[in-house]
Amino acid sequence: MAVRCAVFASGSGSNFQALLDRRTAGDLHVDFAVLITNNSNAGACERARTHGIPIVHLPPSRYEDPKAYAADLQNTLDAHNVEIISLAGYMKMIPVEIVRKYRNRIINIHPALLPAFGGKGMYGERVHQAVIEYGAKVSGITVHF
């Protein structure tokens, strides 16, 4: 039985598509249980629809109380029986309650070698441009828990 995975994405969903492709190829044994996004216009939503994956639009900005957001997020994960989380270009902080509950079961993808080229504003093409401008001789991605 495949592990039930929630994917969190904010943008085009290119990392999400890479995960979908690996699953289709048989290299990734997960059941994508739900896409959680803070951006209802994210390209990742169309990718999820194409593959019949439920989408939950849950922007933290909708909540005055961060605890209420964390509770709704946890309820969503519970409702979809999520076992692991993949952060695939998700541009919001994950509540500490979720990080604690899913300790060592949250996988993040970053398009550069961390800690270099990480932090605020370092996402997508901005990361690649910063690597080029710096003149880095070696680059790559970071996948980490």
List, by residue number, the catalytic residues. 110
User: Which of 113, 31, 41, 101 is CA-nearest to residue 73?
Assistant: 101
User: Which of 92, 102, 110 is CA-nearest to residue 38?
Assistant: 92
Contact between 8 and 36 under an 8 Å Cβ cutoff? The reply is yes
Alpha-carbon distance 116 to 135, whole Å? 12
Residue with token string 């996948």: 143
Alpha carbon dihedral 31, 94, 97, 69, in 10-degree steps, equals: -100
